[in-house]
Chains A and B, each alone.
Chain A
Amino acid sequence: MFDRIDNLFKVFPIIALGLLSLSVGCGPGDRVEVYPTKGVVLFGGEPMMGGGAISFVPIDSQAGKAAGGTVDKEGNFTMSTYDPGDGSMAGKFRVVVMQSTSDEIETVGDTDIEGAADSEAEAESTVPVAKRIPFTYADPANSPLTVEIKPEGPNELTLELSK
C-alpha cells in the first residue's frame, strides 16, 4: 500500500506537467500589456452631455489593439481593450470623442398588415445645440486631443474640450 502512494507521487509531476502544458497552449496570442485607464470628458468646464464613445488612435503607427470606451451621461469613461474595463496599452494616442446627441425612440414591432408600417423613427434630441462638441473631436486624423498612457500610471485623464 505504501509503495502505491509512492507511485502516486511519482505520477504527480507528470500530471502537473500535463496541466501546465495545457495552460501554456491556450494562452492569449499576441496580446499586449494594458494599464487601467479612466477619466472624464469636460466640455466648457462641465461634463459632456448625452454620453458617447471615446477612442484612442495610436499616433506613431503602433501595433496592438487600440483601446476604446463608452462615455456615460456624466462624462465618465473607462477604457477597454480585451476585456471590459481592462485599460489601454501604453503609448501616445490621439483621442477621438464622438458625442451621442440623439436617441432612437423605443419602438415595438408592427403587425404584418399593409400600411401598418408607419415609422416615426426620427431622432429625439437629447443634447441642446449649445452643448454639442465640435466635429473636429470626432475626426481620427485631426482631433486636437492627445494623451500619453504610462505603464506606471495612474492614468486618470481629464479631457477638456472647447468650442
Chain B
Amino acid sequence: MKAIVTDSIGRRRVSLHPRHGFTLVELLVVIAIIGVMVGLLLPAVQAAREAARRMSCQNNLKQMGLALHNYHDTHRVFPPGVVNPRDPNPNGANGSGVPAMGANWAAFILPYLEQQAHWEGVMTIVQERPEVVDWYGHGVYVNRGITVGSQPLPAYTCPSHPSADHQMANGTAMEHLGRGNYGANYGKGGYGRVHTGDGRVGGPMANNGKLSMTDIRDGTSNTLMVSELKFRVTGANRHQDTRGTWAYGAMTASLLTTRTGPNSPVPDGVWGCRSEPAEGMPCIQIGSPYTENYSAARGYHPGGVLGTLADGSVNFYSESIALDIWQALGTRAGGEAPRTE
C-alpha cells in the first residue's frame, strides 16, 4: 500500500497535469453549497406543487359556479342552501322519521356536475325517506348500491387539503357522510332565516331559499357564492366534527358565512364541532339558538381562501382583507358601494 502511495505521489509530481484528491475542507464547502442550493430549491418546488393544487381547487370552484348557473338557467333560481322543513333547528329530529334536514345545494347541482347517478340516489332517498339526510350514506342504502353522500367527490375535494379518508360519525345517524371542502355563502349573519331572509345580511343561498339573480342586487360580481371549508385531520374526536361534510346542509359542513374573515382566529359558532386551534379550526358550541350558527371560510392555501362570485368568476381573497369588504361581498343586497383595498 505504502509503495503505491509513494508511487502515485511521485507520478503526480512529474505529470504535466497535476491531479490530486479532494481535501475535507473542499468537500465540506461543496456540500455546503449544494445544501444551500437544495435549501433554495425545495421551497420553490413545494410552492409549485401547492400552486398546482390550488389551480385544481380553483377549477372545482369554477365548475361549481357553472353548475349553479346551469341550475339557475333551468329552475330560474339558485338552489336552496339546504331544504330544512324545521328551519332553523332540525336537531333531535334526525333519525326520528320526522322530516329534518334535506338535500343541500351541493346535492341539487349534482346533475350539473355529471353526477347523475348520485342525483338519482338523492331522489330515491327523498321519495322513500322524507327526512333524507339521515339516510345519505346509510348502510341501508349503501347495501343497495346508493352511495350518495358516503364518499368524498373529487368535484367537492380540494387537493390542498391534507388527505384523510375518514367519514363523519357524530352519533346522530349521519354516520357515514364523506368529507368535502366547499361551502355556500349564507351572508354576514348566521344560519337561520332571520339572517338569510334579509338581503342586507344574507347571501345568494339560504335555508329553503329560492333566490334568483334579480335578488342579488349588489351585483353578481360583488357577491360571494361559494368558498372553502376545512375538515379535521387529526384528533380522536375528529369523526364527531361536522365541519367539512359535503352532503350535510348544516353551517360549516357545507355552508359558511362572511361574518368572520377568511381563516379567522375567531372560533366558529356551530353545533357539532370539537375545537382544534392547532389545526386553525377553533370553534365553540352554539346550539341554542341554532339560528346564530356561523362559520368562517377556511382553507389550506397560504394567506387566504378561494371563492366563486355569483357571476361565476373565481378569485383569491387574502385573509388580511378588511372585514367590512369581506362582509359586503357576503351580502346579496347590502347596498354597499363596491370598494377594493
B-binding residues in A (CB < 8 A) = 1, 4-5, 7-8, 11, 14-15, 18-19, 21-22, 25-26, 29-32, 51-55, 57-58, 61-70, 79-82, 84, 98, 100-104, 106-110, 112-114, 117-123, 125, 135, 138, 140
B16 within 8 A of A: no
Given A18-B37, A66-B266, A123-B91; 10 other pairs, CB 8 A cutoff: A7-B25, A14-B33, A29-B303, A81-B265, A82-B265, A98-B286, A104-B287, A117-B94, A125-B288, A140-B259
Shortest beta-carbon contacts, A-B, top 6: A107-B171, A68-B266, A117-B173, A112-B139, A117-B95, A18-B36
Q: How far is the CB of A72 from chain B (nearest CB, A)?
A: 10
A84 engages B277 (CB within 8 Å): yes
Instruction: Please name the residue on chain B nearest to A26 by beta carbon.
Output: B43
A53 engages B40 (CB within 8 Å): no
B240 within 8 A of A: yes
Contact among A4, A70, A107, A114 for B282, CB-based, below 8 A: A70
Chain A contact residues, majority secondary structure:
loop
Of A58, A61, A84, A121, most buried by chain B (CB within 10 Å of CB) is A121
B69 within 8 A of A: no
Q: List 12 A-B contacts (CB under 8 A).
A: A18-B36, A21-B40, A52-B284, A53-B267, A61-B322, A68-B260, A69-B265, A107-B240, A108-B171, A113-B139, A117-B175, A121-B171
B215 within 8 A of A: no
A22 engages B320 (CB within 8 Å): no
B170 within 8 A of A: yes
Q: How far is the CB of A155 from chain B (nearest CB, A)?
A: 15
**Residues from chain B with Cβ under 8 Å of A21 in the complex:** 40
Contact among A7, A26, A52 for B29, CB-based, below 8 A: A7
**Residues from chain B with Cβ under 8 Å of A100 in the complex:** 269, 284-286
Chain B contact residues, majority secondary structure:
loop
Instruction: Please name the residue on chain A nearest to B29 by beta carbon.
Output: A11
Residues of chain B in range 228-264 having any CB-CB distance to chain A below 8 Å: 239-240, 259-261, 263-264
A26 to B40, CA, bound (A): 10
Q: How far is the CB of A70 from chain B (nearest CB, A)?
A: 5
A-binding residues in B (CB < 8 A) = 23, 25-26, 28-29, 32-33, 36-37, 39-40, 43, 91-92, 94-96, 134, 138-140, 169-173, 175, 188, 239-240, 259-261, 263-267, 269, 271-272, 275, 277-278, 282, 284-288, 292, 302-303, 318-325, 327, 341
Given A117-B173, A123-B91 in contact, is the A61-B324 Cβ separation under 8 Å? Answer: yes
**Residues from chain B with Cβ under 8 Å of A57 in the complex:** 323
A5 to B298, CA, bound (A): 52
Q: How far is the CB of A94 from chain B (nearest CB, A)?
A: 10
**Residues from chain B with Cβ under 8 Å of A62 in the complex:** 322
Given A18-B36, A55-B266 in contact, is the A119-B320 Cβ separation under 8 Å? Answer: no
Contact among B37, B94, B292, B327 for A121, CB-based, below 8 A: B94
Instruction: Please name the residue on chain A nearest to B140 by beta carbon.
Output: A114
Contact among B92, B138, B140, B260 for A120, CB-based, below 8 A: B92
Q: How far is the CB of A33 from chain B (nearest CB, A)?
A: 12
B303 engages A102 (CB within 8 Å): no
A109 to B138, CA, bound (A): 12
Contact among B91, B173, B272 for A110, CB-based, below 8 A: B173
**Residues from chain A with Cβ under 8 Å of B261 in the complex:** 65-66
A10 to B138, CA, bound (A): 69
**Residues from chain A with Cβ under 8 Å of B23 in the complex:** 1, 4
**Residues from chain B with Cβ under 8 Å of A118 in the complex:** 95-96, 173
A22 engages B40 (CB within 8 Å): yes
**Residues from chain A with Cβ under 8 Å of B171 in the complex:** 107-110, 119, 121
B286 engages A109 (CB within 8 Å): no
Given A117-B95, A122-B92 in contact, is the A30-B169 Cβ separation under 8 Å? Answer: no
**Residues from chain A with Cβ under 8 Å of B138 in the complex:** 112, 114, 117
**Residues from chain A with Cβ under 8 Å of B323 in the complex:** 57-58, 61, 66
B239 engages A109 (CB within 8 Å): yes
A68 engages B282 (CB within 8 Å): yes
Given A4-B23, A8-B25 in contact, is the A19-B320 Cβ separation under 8 Å? Answer: no
Q: How far is the CB of A124 from chain B (nearest CB, A)?
A: 9
Q: How far is the CB of A100 from chain B (nearest CB, A)?
A: 5
**Residues from chain A with Cβ under 8 Å of B272 in the complex:** 104, 121
Given A65-B261, A108-B171, A112-B139 in contact, is the A15-B36 Cβ separation under 8 Å? Answer: yes
Q: How far is the CB of B281 from chain A (nearest CB, A)?
A: 12
**Residues from chain A with Cβ under 8 Å of B39 in the complex:** 18-19, 22
A4 to B283, CA, bound (A): 59
B260 engages A138 (CB within 8 Å): no
